[in-house]
Amino acid sequence: MLTSLRPLVDDAKAAFERDGFVVLRGLLDVERDVRPLQADLGRLIQRSARVLGEEHLIPGNPDEFDRGFIELVARHPRASGLVYDMAKALIPFARLCVHERIVGAFCALRGAELAGSAEQMCGVRIDRPDNRFRSPWHQEFPSLFRSLEGITFWTPLVPMTAEMGPVLLSRGSHRDGVHRIDAGEGTEAEMAAGGYENFRIEREDEVLARHEIVAPLVAMGDVVALDFLTLHRSGINRSRRTRWSAQMRLMNFDDPVGIALGWTGGIKSGKTIGDINALIDRANAVVAAS
């Protein structure tokens, strides 16, 4: 582990194990780590506009890289999907996915010797004020069954305010184990069509009632480290600006559950709800037997 990380992570590990998440203040350097991604996102918005047949000016202030984006999407709805899909290919984002301070924090929090990037689950979220793609309460693990001992590292790419709707976290919910997915009417058809926004865990209201809901307000450079089993969802964006954030997800290759399941894919890999719930049952059985 990097020597400079030790005081930060030593203090954070107990909170992470107790709450299922911890805020790592100042883990990233804004100028070195965040500004390059902001700049490239501004360039990507400009190039996406060109794909759609119009020119788009890049603001001079990196914090305003998305100026005019909401209006662009109103004229060309396809623009949002273009930027979302291609943001994963930006070099500054790829650097964040394997950033030495994020990897170091993961290994320290999990005691991992062999860490990996859960690349299928890394990306830049784009949450516009219309809240059209607001995620429901969910756990990360069913999206990729590679490691129960995974961590999502969430960091804002714009100055955050309470009005923007920070991520909502269910404190201590990671101790409940993996929740089965509610196979409600229309869920399978939604999966086949590539939609995942309306998934629900079984007995959602009952589960959430057992835990405190918190929404930590973080600054750029801060990182929320989130256990793969902690229930969470997007906050409601009541501002006039898009909430941009980056999610880097890491896994532990030595996790017994991941090994037992053969590091298989999850919700977005063509499996049915029945397949997913069968894997969840196997995961919980491995944990119970250990």
> Could you say which of 98, 128, 157 is where a domain stops?
98
Instruction: Please name the amino acid found at residue 147.
Output: S
> Could you say which of 43, 74, 98 is where a domain stops?
98
Q: What is the pTM of this model?
A: 0.93
Distance CA(198)–CA(190), nearest Å, equals 8
Are 244 and 143 in the same domain?
Answer: yes
Are 142 and 230 in the same domain?
Answer: yes
DSSP 77: T
Distance CA(214)–CA(168), nearest Å, equals 6
Pull the structure tokens for residue 249: 């997800």
Does residue 107 belong to any structural domain of this protein? Answer: no
To which residue do tokens 């793609």 refer?
133
Are 153 and 209 in the same domain?
Answer: yes
Does residue 280 belong to any structural domain of this protein? Answer: yes
For the chain, the domain total comes to: 2
* Ordered alpha helix ranges (H), 148-268: 187-192, 204-208, 256-260
Are 193 and 63 in the same domain?
Answer: no
Are 270 and 205 in the same domain?
Answer: yes
Q: Which residues contact 140 (CB under 8 A, 6 or more apart)?
A: 121, 150, 152, 226, 228, 229, 249
Strands 243-252 and 123-127: antiparallel
Are 140 and 39 in the same domain?
Answer: no
To which residue do tokens 């299922």 refer?
20
Are 24 and 40 in the same domain?
Answer: no
pLDDT at 120 (0 to 100): 75
Distance CA(262)–CA(282), nearest Å, equals 12
pLDDT at 6 (0 to 100): 62
> Could you say which of 98, 124, 144 is where a domain stops?
98
Distance set, CA 148 to CA 110, 138, 155, 260 (Å): 11, 14, 21, 11
Distance CA(214)–CA(171), nearest Å, equals 7
Distance CA(206)–CA(179), nearest Å, equals 12
Contact (Cβ atoms closer than 8 angstroms) between residue 258 and residue 160: no
Tell me the residue range of the domain where 240 lies: 3-28+112-289
What would the DSSP string read from start to end of 79-118? HHHHHHHHHTT-HHHHHHHT-HHHHHHHHHHHT-SSEEE-
Are 81 and 185 in the same domain?
Answer: no
Does residue 106 belong to any structural domain of this protein? Answer: no
To which residue do tokens 């390059």 refer?
36
Q: Which residues contact 43 (CB under 8 A, 6 or more apart)?
A: 58
State residue 212 phi and psi, 5-degree precision: -75, 135
State residue 151 phi and psi, 5-degree precision: -140, 135
Encode burial over 20-57: b for 16+ CB neighbours within 10 A, e otherwise.
bbbbbeebbeeeebbbbbbebbbebbbebbeeeeeebe
Per-residue pLDDT of the chain in tens (290 residues, 90 and over written 9) = 454 566 666 779 999 999 999 999 999 999 999 999 999 999 999 999 999 999 999 998 888 999 999 999 999 999 999 999 999 999 999 999 999 999 999 999 999 999 999 877 899 999 999 877 788 899 999 988 989 999 999 999 999 999 999 999 999 999 999 999 986 665 666 655 555 566 789 999 999 999 999 999 999 999 999 999 999 999 999 999 999 999 999 999 999 999 999 998 887 777 888 899 999 999 999 999 98
pLDDT at 179 (0 to 100): 96
Residue 117's SS3 state is strand
Are 48 and 150 in the same domain?
Answer: no
Are 171 and 265 in the same domain?
Answer: yes
